[in-house]
Structure 1
Amino acid sequence: MERVDTPGIVGGGVLAAEDRKQGDWERRIAERSEELYRARIVQRLLWTWAGPGNLLVVVLGVLLAALPVPLPVVLVMFAIAIVSAGVAAAFVYRQHFRVRAVDTELRALESAHREQLLDELATGDLLDAHKRYRAQLPELIERYRAEARRDRWKDQVLQTVVIGGSIIAATVTATATSIADVAFFAVGLSLLVALSAALAGYANYRDRSAAWQQIADALEREYESVELRVGRYRRFSEEREAYAEFAEAVEALRAERIGRLPSAVADRLAQ
C-alpha cells in the first residue's frame, strides 16, 4: 500500500513552519548585527584618519615649514592636509548615516521579533506580564552595553590625544629651542593636551563605561538564571514564583546600581 505524506502539525506542518519563521527572524537579525559591526569598524577607522591622521600631517607640515625646506614642498604638504581633511570629513559624514540606517533597521527587526514573541504571551496573566518583562530585557541590556562602548571609545580617544599629544608637544618644545617659529605650535598642542586631560578627569568615561558594563552583565545573569532555574531561582518549583522573584530582583538591581552613579548618568540609565 502506497504511503501518502501529508503535512501535519509535526514535520513539515505548523511546527516546522514556525521553526522556519523563527529561524528566519534570527538569521535576519544576525545578518544586520554583523553588518552594523562592520560599519562601526569602518566608522572608527575613518575617525582615526580624520582626527589623529590629519593632525599628524599638519604637524609634519609645520615642522617642514620651520626647516630649510623648499617652499613648494611645504605648500604641497599643507595642500595634502587640506584635501585629506575634506575627504575624510565627507567619508565620516556618509558613514555616520550608513551606521545610523543599519542600526535603525536592526532595532526595527528586534522590536518586531520581540512583539511577535510578546503576542504569544499576551493572555492578561501576571506570569505572562513577567515573561514579557523578561522578553524586553535584552533590548535594555544591549542599550547599556552600547553606552559602555561609547564611553569606552571616548576614553580611548582622550587618552590617545593626551599620550600622543604629550609626546609630540615634548618633541616640538625641544625643537623650539633652536627654531623659534614652532614655539606657537608647541603652546597650542600643550593646551590641547591639558584640555583633553581635564575633560578625561572630569567626565570619567572609564568608570562610566565600567558601570554600564557591570549593570548589563548583572541583568544578563538574571535573564539566563530564571530560565535555567539556577542561582537564587533554584529553590522555586513553580514557574510563577520564579518569574515574580526575577522581576523584583531586576528592579532592585537596577535601582541599586543606578543609585551609585552620578545623577546625570543615573537619569539616562533610568529612562
Structure 2
Amino acid sequence: MLQVLRKRGVRITLGATAAVVVSALGFFAWQGFYPVQATTGWQVSVLHTSVAKAASLLPQADGSLLVSRELDDGRGSILKITAQGDRVVVVDGLSKPDGMVAVEGGWVFSQEGGKAPVSLQRDGKITPLFEGESVQGLWNDGDYLYAIEDRRDNGRLMRYDWHSGQLDVLRSGLTETEGLTRCHDGRLLYTQKGEGKVRALSDDGNDPVVVQGLRNPTFLMCDQRGLWISEDSTHRARLLLIDAQGQRQTMLSFLKAPQAIVADGKGGYLLAEGGRNRVLHLMPPAEQKVAKVSPKQLTDD
C-alpha cells in the first residue's frame, strides 16, 4: 500500500511539474507572438519584414531606407531598401552595426561589436573617422559628431570636430549608455539602459536626470511631439512619448527589442523592431495637430 501511495505521489508531482512547464512555455510564446498594440487613434503596420536584427534607420531623399542589421562577428551589414522594395547591401562585414546618422553628402555608422572605427560613407567610399569600442548612439549637428559607447563602467561620450578632426572625451566611466539625441532647446540627451534613466549633458558635468523609471531605454528621438524613447526589452517592450506637458504616453506596446525610431517625412514614424526582424510604420490620427515642445518642459516621473 505504501509503495502504491509513493508511486501515486510521484505521478502527481511529475504532472504538476509538467503543467508548470507547459504554462511557462505558453506564457513566453504568448509574449513573443502577441500583436503590437498602438495607442488610441494611432495606426501601426509592418513596412518591411525579414530584416535581421534591424537596428538603425536612415530614410534617404530618393525614398529608399537604410537599415543596419545588428549581427555580430563580421556578419552585420547595412541594407538599402529602395522605394520599389528592392534590397541591396551597401556595407557588409560589420560587427553589430548600430548607430547611423546623416551628414552632408553621406552618412556615418558605428559598430557595437567591440573595437571598431566610427566611419563615414560618402560617394561610395568608406572613411574611418576615429576609433571606439562598442559605439552605439550617434548625433551630428554639422560642426560636431557625437558618439556614445555601450560598455560597463568604462563607456565614453565623445565629440568629433568635423573641421579639425580632433576627438574629445566629454564623459568617461559610463555604463550601458546607448541612445543619443539633441532636442529643440539644444540639450544633448543620452540613455542609461540599466538604470532606466535619460540624462542631459551639462556644462558642470552633473548631467541631471530628465526621465527615470524606464525599462531598458535605448534609442531616443526629439521632435515637435516631444521625446520618443524605445525600450530594448525582449518581451512586452514599449515605445514611449513624453509630450509638451511632461506626460508619459505608451505609443506602442508588446514590442520585442525595438530599436531606432525616425520620422518618415510624411507625418508618421518608422521603428526598427530588432526582436522580430522588421520595420514598423506608425501613423497618427489624420486630424491630430502637432504642438511645439521644448525639452525644458520634460519632467521626472
TM-score norm. by structure 1 comes to 0.24
Higher strand share: 2
Larger Rg: 1
TM-score norm. by structure 2 comes to 0.22
